[in-house]
Protein backbone atom coordinates (compact mmCIF):
# COMPACT_ATOMS: atom_id res chain seq x y z
CA UNK A 1 0.00 0.00 0.00
CA UNK A 2 2.86 2.42 -0.51
CA UNK A 3 3.03 2.88 -4.24
CA UNK A 4 6.40 1.14 -4.49
CA UNK A 5 7.00 0.11 -8.03
CA UNK A 6 5.33 3.11 -9.62
CA UNK A 7 7.71 4.29 -12.28
CA UNK A 8 6.97 7.96 -11.72
CA UNK A 9 9.02 8.13 -8.55
CA UNK A 10 12.70 8.76 -8.23
CA UNK A 11 13.45 12.37 -8.99
CA UNK A 12 12.77 15.52 -7.06
CA UNK A 13 11.03 17.87 -9.47
CA UNK A 14 13.29 20.79 -8.66
CA UNK A 15 16.60 19.06 -9.11
CA UNK A 16 16.98 20.43 -12.62
CA UNK A 17 14.91 23.58 -12.62
CA UNK A 18 13.61 26.34 -10.41
CA UNK A 19 10.28 25.86 -8.63
CA UNK A 20 7.29 26.90 -10.71
CA UNK A 21 5.77 30.28 -9.87
CA UNK A 22 3.79 32.07 -12.56
CA UNK A 23 1.56 34.82 -11.22
CA UNK A 24 -0.49 37.50 -12.98
CA UNK A 25 -2.67 40.37 -11.81
CA UNK A 26 -5.66 39.13 -13.71
CA UNK A 27 -6.19 35.39 -13.20
CA UNK A 28 -9.20 34.40 -11.12
CA UNK A 29 -7.82 30.93 -10.36
CA UNK A 30 -4.55 29.65 -9.02
CA UNK A 31 -3.06 26.17 -9.02
CA UNK A 32 -1.09 25.42 -5.85
CA UNK A 33 0.60 22.05 -5.84
CA UNK A 34 3.35 19.88 -4.49
CA UNK A 35 5.08 17.21 -6.54
CA UNK A 36 8.06 15.11 -5.58
CA UNK A 37 8.66 13.18 -8.74
CA UNK A 38 6.81 15.06 -11.44
CA UNK A 39 3.44 13.37 -11.93
CA UNK A 40 1.37 15.90 -10.01
CA UNK A 41 3.41 18.64 -11.67
CA UNK A 42 2.51 17.30 -15.11
CA UNK A 43 -1.14 17.16 -14.12
CA UNK A 44 -0.89 20.73 -12.79
CA UNK A 45 0.58 21.90 -16.10
CA UNK A 46 -2.34 20.35 -17.97
CA UNK A 47 -4.78 22.20 -15.75
CA UNK A 48 -2.76 25.39 -16.28
CA UNK A 49 -2.92 25.01 -20.06
CA UNK A 50 -6.66 24.46 -20.05
CA UNK A 51 -7.60 27.18 -17.56
CA UNK A 52 -4.91 29.88 -17.82
CA UNK A 53 -4.80 29.82 -14.04
CA UNK A 54 -1.79 31.17 -12.21
CA UNK A 55 0.43 28.47 -10.77
CA UNK A 56 2.55 28.11 -7.65
CA UNK A 57 4.64 25.16 -6.57
CA UNK A 58 4.94 24.24 -2.91
CA UNK A 59 8.56 23.65 -1.93
CA UNK A 60 10.15 22.42 1.28
CA UNK A 61 13.38 23.48 3.01
CA UNK A 62 14.80 20.01 2.73
CA UNK A 63 13.69 18.29 -0.48
CA UNK A 64 12.77 14.64 -0.30
CA UNK A 65 15.45 12.26 -1.56
CA UNK A 66 15.23 11.09 -5.15
CA UNK A 67 15.74 7.61 -3.75
CA UNK A 68 12.28 6.10 -3.26
CA UNK A 69 12.96 3.87 -0.20
CA UNK A 70 14.68 6.79 1.51
CA UNK A 71 11.71 9.03 0.85
CA UNK A 72 9.41 6.34 2.16
CA UNK A 73 11.47 5.99 5.35
CA UNK A 74 11.46 9.75 5.91
CA UNK A 75 7.74 10.02 5.19
CA UNK A 76 6.94 7.17 7.57
CA UNK A 77 8.98 8.78 10.35
CA UNK A 78 7.35 12.17 9.75
CA UNK A 79 3.89 10.63 9.80
CA UNK A 80 4.51 8.76 13.04
CA UNK A 81 5.66 11.96 14.73
CA UNK A 82 3.16 14.16 12.85
CA UNK A 83 6.21 16.23 12.06
CA UNK A 84 5.54 17.87 8.72
CA UNK A 85 8.31 19.50 6.68
CA UNK A 86 9.16 23.17 6.79
CA UNK A 87 8.29 25.13 3.66
CA UNK A 88 10.60 27.50 1.83
CA UNK A 89 8.13 29.46 -0.22
CA UNK A 90 6.21 32.69 0.03
CA UNK A 91 2.50 32.81 -0.62
CA UNK A 92 1.29 35.74 -2.74
CA UNK A 93 -1.80 37.68 -1.73
CA UNK A 94 -4.72 35.47 -2.76
CA UNK A 95 -7.45 38.13 -2.81
CA UNK A 96 -7.85 38.09 -6.60
CA UNK A 97 -8.56 34.37 -6.79
CA UNK A 98 -11.98 32.73 -6.59
CA UNK A 99 -10.79 29.17 -7.16
CA UNK A 100 -7.76 27.36 -5.80
CA UNK A 101 -6.79 24.12 -7.55
CA UNK A 102 -5.00 22.23 -4.81
CA UNK A 103 -2.74 19.43 -6.06
CA UNK A 104 -0.70 16.75 -4.31
CA UNK A 105 0.45 13.15 -4.50
CA UNK A 106 -1.28 10.65 -2.21
CA UNK A 107 1.08 9.26 0.41
CA UNK A 108 0.15 6.33 2.63
CA UNK A 109 -3.49 6.62 1.56
CA UNK A 110 -3.67 10.21 2.78
CA UNK A 111 -2.41 13.73 2.10
CA UNK A 112 1.31 14.06 1.34
CA UNK A 113 3.21 15.96 3.98
CA UNK A 114 4.18 19.16 2.16
CA UNK A 115 0.49 19.83 1.51
CA UNK A 116 -0.15 19.26 5.22
CA UNK A 117 2.48 21.87 5.96
CA UNK A 118 1.00 24.24 3.42
CA UNK A 119 -2.49 23.98 4.87
CA UNK A 120 -1.20 24.24 8.42
CA UNK A 121 0.74 27.37 7.54
CA UNK A 122 -1.55 29.14 5.09
CA UNK A 123 -4.94 27.45 5.43
CA UNK A 124 -6.68 30.48 6.79
CA UNK A 125 -5.79 32.45 3.67
CA UNK A 126 -7.90 30.05 1.65
CA UNK A 127 -11.08 31.39 3.26
CA UNK A 128 -13.93 32.08 0.81
CA UNK A 129 -12.25 30.10 -2.00
CA UNK A 130 -13.69 27.35 -4.09
CA UNK A 131 -11.27 24.46 -3.52
CA UNK A 132 -10.71 22.07 -6.41
CA UNK A 133 -8.59 19.14 -5.17
CA UNK A 134 -6.54 17.14 -7.64
CA UNK A 135 -4.02 14.42 -7.02
CA UNK A 136 -1.87 11.71 -8.50
CA UNK A 137 -1.50 8.34 -6.86
CA UNK A 138 0.10 4.96 -7.44
CA UNK A 139 -3.04 2.96 -8.05
CA UNK A 140 -4.66 2.89 -4.63
CA UNK A 141 -6.88 5.94 -4.96
CA UNK A 142 -7.43 9.11 -3.01
CA UNK A 143 -7.62 7.58 0.49
CA UNK A 144 -8.86 10.10 3.03
CA UNK A 145 -6.84 12.97 1.55
CA UNK A 146 -9.77 15.23 0.71
CA UNK A 147 -11.23 14.75 4.16
CA UNK A 148 -7.87 15.77 5.63
CA UNK A 149 -7.80 18.89 3.43
CA UNK A 150 -11.24 19.86 4.73
CA UNK A 151 -10.30 19.21 8.36
CA UNK A 152 -7.01 21.09 8.08
CA UNK A 153 -8.72 24.11 6.56
CA UNK A 154 -11.33 24.27 9.27
CA UNK A 155 -8.72 23.70 12.00
CA UNK A 156 -6.76 26.66 10.66
CA UNK A 157 -9.85 28.84 10.75
CA UNK A 158 -10.61 28.97 7.03
CA UNK A 159 -14.27 29.83 6.44
CA UNK A 160 -16.76 29.75 3.56
CA UNK A 161 -14.99 27.11 1.50
CA UNK A 162 -16.77 25.19 -1.17
CA UNK A 163 -15.32 22.07 -2.75
CA UNK A 164 -15.53 20.59 -6.22
CA UNK A 165 -15.27 16.87 -6.75
CA UNK A 166 -11.68 15.62 -6.67
CA UNK A 167 -9.65 14.74 -9.75
CA UNK A 168 -7.80 11.49 -9.00
CA UNK A 169 -5.28 10.26 -11.55
CA UNK A 170 -2.84 7.37 -11.59
CA UNK A 171 0.60 8.99 -11.63
CA UNK A 172 1.72 6.74 -14.45
CA UNK A 173 -1.25 7.70 -16.62
CA UNK A 174 -1.07 11.48 -16.50
CA UNK A 175 -0.16 11.58 -20.20
CA UNK A 176 -3.46 9.91 -21.04
CA UNK A 177 -6.00 11.79 -18.96
CA UNK A 178 -6.84 14.85 -21.04
CA UNK A 179 -10.47 13.87 -21.36
CA UNK A 180 -10.77 13.21 -17.62
CA UNK A 181 -9.20 16.61 -16.91
CA UNK A 182 -11.54 18.34 -19.38
CA UNK A 183 -14.58 16.66 -17.85
CA UNK A 184 -13.45 17.59 -14.35
CA UNK A 185 -12.92 21.22 -15.34
CA UNK A 186 -16.41 21.57 -16.76
C1 LIG B 1 6.14 8.32 0.53
C2 LIG B 1 5.19 7.84 -0.56
C3 LIG B 1 4.02 7.20 -0.21
C4 LIG B 1 3.11 6.80 -1.20
N5 LIG B 1 1.94 6.21 -0.82
C6 LIG B 1 1.03 5.88 -1.78
C7 LIG B 1 -0.24 5.32 -1.43
O8 LIG B 1 -0.56 5.13 -0.26
N9 LIG B 1 -1.10 4.98 -2.41
C10 LIG B 1 -0.80 5.18 -3.72
O11 LIG B 1 -1.62 4.88 -4.58
N12 LIG B 1 0.39 5.73 -4.10
C13 LIG B 1 1.30 6.08 -3.16
N14 LIG B 1 2.50 6.64 -3.53
C15 LIG B 1 2.76 6.87 -4.96
C16 LIG B 1 2.52 8.30 -5.36
O17 LIG B 1 1.26 8.78 -4.90
C18 LIG B 1 2.51 8.43 -6.89
O19 LIG B 1 3.69 7.89 -7.42
C20 LIG B 1 2.33 9.87 -7.30
O21 LIG B 1 1.95 9.92 -8.66
C22 LIG B 1 3.61 10.68 -7.11
O23 LIG B 1 3.35 12.02 -7.45
P24 LIG B 1 4.53 13.06 -7.73
O25 LIG B 1 5.30 12.50 -8.92
O26 LIG B 1 3.84 14.32 -8.06
O27 LIG B 1 5.39 13.14 -6.52
C28 LIG B 1 3.42 7.02 -2.57
C29 LIG B 1 4.62 7.66 -2.91
C30 LIG B 1 5.50 8.07 -1.92
C31 LIG B 1 6.78 8.76 -2.32
Report the CATH number that the domain containing residue 147 is assigned in CATH.
Answer: 3.40.50.360
Whether residue 37 has its Cβ less than 6 Å from ligand 1:
yes
Q: What is the pLDDT of residue 8?
A: 43
Query: What's the whole-number mean pLDDT along residues 4-33?
Result: 78
Q: Does residue 149 form part of some domain? A: yes
Is residue 12 in a domain? no
Query: In this predicted structure, what is the pLDDT of residue 12?
Result: 64
Within a domain: 5: no
The rounded Å distance from CA 52 to ligand 1 centre is 27
Ligand 1 atom nearest to 104, measured from its CA: 26
| pLDDT value at residue 159 | 98
| pLDDT confidence tier of residue 17, bands split at 50, 70 and 90 | confident
Number of domains in the chain: 1
Q: What is the pLDDT of residue 11?
A: 54
In this prediction, residue 14 has a pLDDT band, given cuts at 50, 70 and 90, of confident
pLDDT over threshold 70, residue 155: yes
- Describe the crossing of helices 39-51 and 178-185 by its angle, rounded to 10 degrees: 50
- The pLDDT tens digits of the residues spanning 104-125 come to 999 999 999 999 999 999 999 9
Residue 181 belongs to a domain: yes
Domain that holds residue 99: 21-185
Query: Does the CB atom of residue 9 touch ligand 1 within 6 A?
Result: yes
Residue 41 lies in a domain: yes
Compute CA distances 88 → 39, 58, 61, 102, 105, whole Å.
21, 8, 5, 18, 19
The three-point CA angle 93-99-100 to 5° equals: 70
Calculate how far, in angstroms, residue 134's C-alpha sits from the geometric centre of ligand 1. Answer: 13
pLDDT digits (tens, 9 = 90+) for 44-79: 999 999 999 999 999 999 999 999 999 999 999 999
Q: Is the ipTM of this complex over 0.90?
A: yes
**4 in a structural domain:** no
Q: What is the pLDDT of residue 18?
A: 86
Q: With bands split at pLDDT 50, 70 and 90, how would you rate the model's confidence at 10?
A: very low
Determine the Cα–Cα distance for residues 77 and 72; give it in Å rounded to an integer. 9
Q: pLDDT tens digits, residue range 84-95? A: 999 999 999 999
Q: Is residue 74 part of a domain?
A: yes
Where does the pLDDT of residue 158 fall: very low under 50, low under 70, confident under 90, or very high at 90 and above?
Answer: very high
- Quote the ligand 1 centre to 121 CA distance (angstroms): 23
Residue 99 burial (CB count, 10 A): 18
The overall average pLDDT reported for the chain is: 93
Any domain includes 10? no
Amino acid sequence: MNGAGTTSDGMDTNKNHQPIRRLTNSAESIIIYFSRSGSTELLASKIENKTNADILEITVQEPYPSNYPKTLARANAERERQDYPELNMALPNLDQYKTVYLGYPVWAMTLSHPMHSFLNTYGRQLSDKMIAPFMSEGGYGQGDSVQVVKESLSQRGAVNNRFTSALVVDGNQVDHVDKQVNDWLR
